[in-house]
């Protein structure tokens, strides 16, 4: 071993222990003739080899928290409740970043050959924070609370297909009305956190079986958790305390990261991500996910009931321009169906639809629209930059001779008064872990949130067939046909899929790219540690 | 009965009437807003069944007028009720937020009120000369810049660059007074800059007005120092308008600082109210409205009483 190697090794060790920042390390390595990419690889290998550092308070600055938040998993709808739930509670299974199922409270999952009966064997020796053991009974009661007649759960749509549930020793058994090969993915939904006795007596008590225990619950201000000493999984829960601080103002959130008052922040505005990544002591992590920014047309309302008009509008939007100018490159172009490469069984051979003013004009003419302006309703609450995106859309459509009129709506009440009510508006979908769930949630004729009013019996039949199909190749073919149907006939204009963009302090280690949600699918508080 | 006592009682009774009227207005206002609390809670994930279940549970199926009187009855018994969205006791959670707001307002007032009056006196002493112009220029500039911008500028230069104080002004029970003051230093500076000009200019104008009087000339002819003339002879006669504007600014410090709270992530009443308006959580909005109205009414009453006390002519109305 020569001096250079020895020096590299020495600095790598120092950096892995956190005695040197990543930036300093990369600088030293450059001096020794090691490329930045190589230096980063060296460092992450060394960090893994050194193992997690225990202790400290991990501070997460998050938007999407209000004084009105509750710890009831059923009512979680924004980011802060999402991160709270991941800190103190667990689901039966989780979806890993590679799209596979990670058994958590369920040790194993089995299905009958027809995918109608599912058996979840519950991990033994796991305790809730109140000292009681996690049993199959608790699991059944939890799913019951989300699916019964009085349920107001955000997961109600997910658990609707259950025919019966039972407990067989340490195993929780579910019988479904119709076969569903994706059921484990549905059970990974973050609303379905297992609570003692299903949380019937006090759903917002904040008692789960997670890596951290609730210390202080101040909705809209902060939520403090401490390490759960009896946690079953030694590979998670490294810090002593997790503090989730509500910082809704984007500038304040970035300032908190830069001044060291937060170690991790979510929703870095793409506009400032470049600047932020150059600031000392912080880095920006982005990863592609299933979330997409869309414009939705109601297929059953004039003038959008005419497929030529829908196609005209689809050809009249410049997707790449939107990714460049609205997402600042932190995302990828959409193709007018809600699925992208982050889903299993995605068919990448479907041709990408491009901006084509001539084709748009042709379809517009064929639609016989009277030339009156088409009203597009937007608010920045629909997705960040929605108003700007609508303006870009208006320009590119005008070039094809299609008049769009933008109507700005207030953010307040947008989801109750505009979305799913007005025939043409901006919207956002967070995506789902699997294609079946995305399609069943918003494109099945009978779905409550069918926000494009797309009703097609053939499509529905294919969706149900794919759901029961256990053969991957056949399922993929079915999903591909469905994607093509939506792309060519649906009411969805999907210009872009947005990345999750998070900001991290140099002190945070153990971070991995994970596109299942922001902050590593909510798992950052469990798997990251402080150097 | 003592006329002052009578006046206070009259004002108090009138204040109570005003509070009831304000609560009715706020209730009507929240009813006019589109959507309801059930829709706001469930947001984009609302299914008709989940909505119906939640509405029934929250008692939203009861007619609005009856809900208002149920609420009013509760308040008269000292019960502000529980929040519709997170089921927490309103008196409890709002009490904490109100405490925080008053804490911030107190320290901002402690610094800004004496400073504004002192600067006002100074401006009068050097009227038309450079100290007067400097004071007016700086304070008018600081009131003209939007408060969030001052906040961001201070965060960037003081907290991020110099690493002094904190960007997140979050305080909690576990902190010592020193830590709390360190946490709120930046918002206090911003609020001081925002309210300074108004009070300073009013002090200056009120005293200059008095300075035209004959008795000031007499005092000057007696050979008193000019600052003494201002402080001992002019200022007491200018108290009434000054107190009025000071009270208005104090009220602003309590009820109007939501922007500063957002920028510094301060857990005060403003953010609390805005969150609950967005969620249509009527009982909380009502409770906050009541507190804000009470603050205004009380401070205005104090201003009136002080002006009456400071001016013997007003003490004996014809």
Tens of pLDDT, residue by residue over B152-175, are: 999 989 988 888 888 888 888 888
* Minimal-distance CA residue of chain A relative to B41: A75
At residue A139, the pLDDT reads 96
Residue holding tokens 């979806």?
A: A95
Nearest Cα residue in chain B from A64: B275
Phi, psi (rounded to 5 degrees) for A380: -65, -15
Long-range contacts of B49-56 (CB under 8 A, 24+ apart): B49/A151, B49/A156, B50/A151, B50/A152, B50/A153, B50/A154, B50/A156, B51/A152, B53/A149, B53/A150, B53/A151, B53/A152, B54/A152
Cis peptide upstream of residue A504 (ω within 30 degrees of 0): no
Contact A259 B159 (CB under 8 A): yes
- B192 and B112 Cβ atoms separated by less than 8 Å: yes
Instruction: Convert the pLDDT of each residue in B59-99 to its tens digit.
Output: 777 788 888 888 888 888 888 888 887 778 888 888 989 99
Indicate if B128 and B244 belong to the same structural domain: yes
Burial class (CB in 10 A: 0-12, 13-18, 19+), A372: exposed
Please enumerate in sequence order all residues whose Cβ is within 8 A of that of B210, keeping only pairs 6 or more positions apart, or say none.
Answer: B216, B234, B237, B238
Same-domain status, B106 and B10: no
Pairing, β A282-297 against β A331-333 = unpaired
Confidence of residue B46 (pLDDT cuts 50, 70, 90): low
Q: What is the pLDDT of residue A118?
A: 94
DSSP character for B230?
I
3-state secondary structure of A476: helix
Please, which pLDDT band fits residue B43 given cuts at 50, 70 and 90? low
Whether B84 maps to a domain, the answer reads no
Q: Do A152 and B54 touch (CB under 8 A)?
A: yes
Taking the Cβ of residue B201 and every Cβ of chain A, the question of whether any pair is shorter than 8 Å is answered with no
Quick check: is B85 in a domain?
Answer: no
Return the HEC string of A23-88. Answer: HHHHHHHHHCCCCHHHHHHHHHHHHHHHCCCCCCEEEEEECCCCCCCCCCHHHCCCHHHHHHHHHH
Q: What is the mean pLDDT of chain B?
A: 86
Residue B318: its pLDDT value, please? 57
Q: Tell me if B53 and A152 make a contact (CB, 8 A cut-off).
A: yes
Specify whether the backbone of A131 is left (phi greater than 0), alpha (psi in -120 to 50) or beta.
Answer: left
Q: Cβ(B22)–Cβ(A399) under 8 Å?
A: no
At B30 the pLDDT is 79
- The answer to whether B258 and B147 are in contact (CB under 8 A) is no
Q: Determine the Cα angle at A461 with ends A455 and A464, to 5°.
A: 115
Give the pLDDT of residue A352: 95
Q: How far is B266 from chain A (nearest CA, A)?
A: 8
Do B64 and B116 reside in the same domain of the chain? no
Could you tell me if B41 and A75 are in contact, meaning their C-beta atoms sit under 8 angstroms apart? yes
Residue B280, in any domain of the structure: yes
Q: Are A282 and A501 in contact (CB under 8 A)?
A: no
Mean pLDDT value of segment B123-151: 90
Cβ atoms of B105 and B254 closer than 8 Å: yes
Output the pLDDT for position B41: 72
Please tell me which residue of chain A has the smallest CA distance to B54: A152
Residues of chain A with pLDDT under 70: 1, 17-18
Residues B256 and B131 in one domain: yes
We report the CATH number of the domain holding residue B199 as: 1.10.3720.10
Fold of A90-199: Dipeptide-binding Protein; domain 1 (3.90.76)
pLDDT value, residue A330: 93
Q: Where do the structural domains in chain A lie, given as residue ranges?
A: 3-50, 57-65+210-287+500-530, 90-199, 292-498
Residue A1 in tokens: 């071993």
Residues B192 and B300 in one domain: yes
In whole angstroms, what is the distance from residue B186 CA to residue B148 CA? 12
Does one domain contain both B9 and B123?
no
- The superfamily CATH assigns to domain A292-498 is Dipeptide-binding Protein; Domain 3 (3.10.105.10)
> Do the bridges between strand A241-246 and strand A106-111 make them parallel or antiparallel, or are there none, so unpaired?
unpaired
Structural domain includes residue B292: yes
Q: Do A70 and B87 touch (CB under 8 A)?
A: yes
Total number of domains constituting chain B: 2
B 149-178: CB under 8 A from A: 152, 155-156, 159-160, 163, 166-168, 170, 172
Residue B38: give the domain boundaries: 3-76
> Could you tell me if B65 and B97 lie in one domain?
no
Contact across the interface for A247 and B281, Cβ inside 8 Å: no
- B183 and B57 in a common domain: no
**Could you tell me if residue B267 is inside a domain?**
yes
Per-residue confidence band for B114, with pLDDT thresholds at 50, 70 and 90: very high
> Is B253 within the bounds of a domain?
yes
Q: At what angle do helices B177-211 and B90-125 cross, to 10 degrees?
A: 40
CATH number given to A57-65+210-287+500-530: 3.40.190.10
Q: At B255, is the pLDDT very low, low, confident or very high (cuts 50, 70, 90)?
A: confident
Give chain B positions within 8 Å (CB) of A245.
168, 170, 265
Do B70 and B116 share a structural domain?
Answer: no
**What is the reported pLDDT for B272?**
87
Q: Is residue B55 part of a domain?
A: yes
pLDDT value of position B229: 85
Instruction: Find chain B residues with C-beta within 8 A of A69's C-beta.
Output: 85-86
Q: Are strands A222-227 and A212-218 parallel, antiparallel or unpaired?
A: antiparallel
| Maximum Cα–Cα distance across chain B | 85
Instruction: State which of B46, B76, B106 marks the end of a domain.
Output: B76
**Shortest Cα–Cα distance, B141 to chain A (Å):** 23
Say if B83 falls within a structural domain.
Answer: no
Q: Cα B182–B185–B190 angle (5° rounding)?
A: 165
Q: Is A169 helix (H, G, I), strand (E, B) or coil?
A: coil
């Amino acid at each position: 071993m020569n001096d250079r190697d020895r020096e590299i090794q020495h600095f790598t060790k120092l950096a892995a222990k956190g005695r040197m920042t990543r930036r300093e390390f990369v600088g030293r390595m450059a001096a020794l003739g090691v490329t930045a990419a190589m230096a980063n690889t060296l460092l992450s290998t060394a960090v893994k080899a050194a193992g997690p550092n225990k202790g400290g308070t991990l501070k997460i600055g998050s938007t999407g928290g209000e004084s009105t938040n509750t710890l009831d998993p059923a009512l979680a709808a924004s980011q802060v409740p999402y991160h709270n739930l991941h800190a103190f509670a667990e689901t039966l299974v989780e979806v890993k970043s590679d799209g596979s199922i990670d058994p958590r409270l369920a040790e194993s999952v089995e299905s009958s050959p027809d995918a109608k009966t599912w058996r979840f064997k519950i991990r033994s020796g796991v305790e809730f924070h109140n000292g009681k053991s996690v049993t199959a009974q608790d699991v059944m009661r939890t799913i019951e609370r989300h699916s019964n007649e009085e349920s107001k759960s955000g997961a109600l749509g997910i658990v609707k297909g259950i025919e019966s549930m039972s407990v067989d020793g340490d195993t929780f058994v579910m019988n479904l009305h119709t076969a569903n090969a994706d059921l484990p993915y549905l059970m990974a939904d973050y609303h379905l956190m297992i609570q003692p006795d299903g949380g019937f007596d006090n759903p917002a008590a904040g008692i789960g079986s997670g890596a951290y225990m609730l210390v202080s619950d101040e909705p809209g201000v902060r939520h403090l958790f401490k390490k759960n000493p009896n946690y079953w999984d030694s590979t998670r829960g490294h810090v002593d305390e997790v503090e989730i601080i509500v910082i809704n103002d984007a500038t304040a959130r970035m300032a908190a990261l830069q001044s060291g008052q937060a170690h991790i922040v979510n929703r870095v505005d793409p506009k400032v991500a470049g600047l932020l990544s150059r600031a000392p002591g912080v880095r920006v992590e982005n990863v592609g996910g299933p979330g997409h920014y869309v414009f939705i047309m109601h297929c059953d309302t004039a003038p959008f009931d005419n497929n030529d008009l829908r196609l005209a509008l689809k050809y009249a939007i410049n997707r790449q321009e939107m990714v460049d100018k609205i997402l600042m490159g932190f995302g990828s172009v959409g193709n007018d169906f809600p699925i992208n490469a982050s889903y299993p069984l995605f068919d990448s051979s479907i041709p990408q639809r491009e901006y084509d003013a001539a084709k748009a004009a042709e379809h517009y003419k064929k639609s016989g629209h009277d030339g009156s302006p088409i009203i597009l309703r937007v608010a920045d609450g629909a997705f960040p930059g929605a108003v700007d995106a609508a303006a870009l859309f208006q320009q590119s459509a005008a070039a094809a001779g299609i008049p769009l009129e933008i109507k700005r709506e207030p953010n307040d009440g947008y989801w109750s008064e505009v979305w799913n009510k007005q025939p043409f508006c901006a919207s956002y979908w967070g995506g789902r872990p699997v294609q079946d769930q995305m399609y069943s949630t918003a494109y099945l004729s009978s779905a409550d949130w069918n926000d494009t009013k797309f009703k097609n019996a053939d499509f529905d039949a294919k969706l149900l067939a794919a759901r029961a199909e256990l053969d991957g190749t056949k399922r993929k073919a079915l999903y591909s046909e469905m994607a093509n149907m939506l792309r060519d006939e649906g009411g969805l204009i999907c210009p872009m899929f947005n990345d999750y963009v998070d900001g991290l302090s140099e002190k945070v280690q153990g971070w991995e790219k994970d596109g299942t949600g922001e902050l590593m699918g909510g798992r950052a508080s469990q798997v990251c540690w402080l150097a | 009965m003592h006329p002052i006592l009578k006046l206070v009682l009259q004002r108090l009774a009138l204040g109570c009437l005003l509070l009831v009227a304000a609560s009715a207005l706020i209730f009507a206002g929240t009813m006019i807003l589109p959507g309801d609390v059930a829709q706001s809670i469930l947001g984009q994930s609302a299914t008709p069944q989940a909505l119906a279940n939640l509405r029934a549970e929250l008692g939203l199926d009861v007619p609005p007028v009856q809900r208002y009187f149920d609420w009013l009855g509760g308040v008269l018994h000292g019960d502000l009720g529980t929040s519709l969205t997170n089921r927490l006791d309103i008196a409890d959670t709002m009490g904490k937020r109100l405490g925080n707001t008053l804490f911030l307002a107190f320290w901002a007032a402690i610094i800004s009120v004496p400073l504004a009056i002192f600067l006002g006196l100074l401006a009068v002493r050097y009227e038309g000369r450079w100290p007067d112009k400097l004071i007016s220029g700086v304070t008018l500039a600081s009131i003209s810049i939007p408060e969030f911008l001052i906040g961001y500028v201070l965060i960037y230069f003081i907290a991020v660059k110099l690493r002094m104080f904190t960007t997140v002004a979050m305080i909690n029970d576990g902190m010592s007074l020193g830590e709390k003051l360190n946490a709120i230093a930046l918002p206090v500076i911003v609020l001081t800059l925002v309210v300074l000009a108004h009070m300073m200019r009013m002090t200056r104008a009120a005293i200059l007005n008095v300075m035209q009087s004959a008795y000031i000339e007499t005092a000057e002819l007696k050979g008193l120092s000019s600052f003494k003339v201002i402080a001992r002879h002019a200022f007491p006669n200018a108290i009434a308008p000054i107190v009025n504007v000071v009270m208005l600014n104090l009220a602003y410090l309590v009820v109007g600082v939501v922007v500063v709270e957002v920028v510094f992530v301060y857990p005060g009443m403003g953010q609390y109210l805005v969150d609950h308006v967005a969620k249509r959580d009527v009982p909380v909005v009502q409770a906050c409205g009541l507190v804000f109205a009470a603050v205004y009414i009380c401070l205005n009453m104090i201003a009136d009483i002080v002006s009456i006390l400071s001016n013997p002519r007003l003490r004996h109305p014809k």
